[in-house]
Amino acid sequence: DVKVTQSSRYLVKRTGEKVFLECVQDMDHENMFWYRQDPGLGLRLIYFSYDVKMKEKGDIPEGYSVSREKKERFSLILESASTNQTSMYLCASSFAGNPYEQYFGPGTRLTVT
C-alpha cells in the first residue's frame, strides 16, 4: 500500500514564525506535490517536484518555498507565517509520466494566529 505521511495533523503557529511541513512517501514516486485546501476553492497547487532538488511553482507559490533533498521527502516552508496562510495543507505523490493518480497524505491543518 502506498503511504504518504505528514509530520503533523494539527499545527498552531504565530504570525511571523517560520513553519516547516514535512511529507514522506514510501513508494519511490518521482513526483511530489503540495496543495492547500480552502472552503469553496478546492485544492490549489503550491509547488511540486519531479525529482530530487527539482521544483516548479504551482498556482499559488507566493509566501512559500520547498525543499527536496531526498526522493522520499518533500518539505513545505512558510518563511514568515501570516494569518492568510491558515489552511489545510495536503501532500501528494505519484509516478512520473502519463499522468498517474496521486496519493495523498492525511493533511495538516495549520492555524496562524
89 binds another protein (CB under 8 A): no
- If residue 37 lies in a helix (H) or strand (E), which one and from where to where? strand 31-38
Backbone angles phi, psi at 52, to 5 degrees: -55, 135
Q: How far apart are CA 31 and CA 25, in angstroms?
A: 10
Stretch that binds another protein, among 13-21, 39-47, 62-70, 71-79 (CB under 8 A): 39-47
Q: Which of 24, 25, 31, 110 binds another protein (CB under 8 A)?
A: 31
Q: Please identify, among the stretches 17-25, 50-58, 63-71, 79-87, the one whose residues bind another protein according to the rule CB under 8 A.
A: 50-58
In the bound state with another protein, the residue whose beta carbon lies nearer, of 11 and 45, is: 45
Could you say which DSSP state residue 99 is in?
T
DSSP 85: G
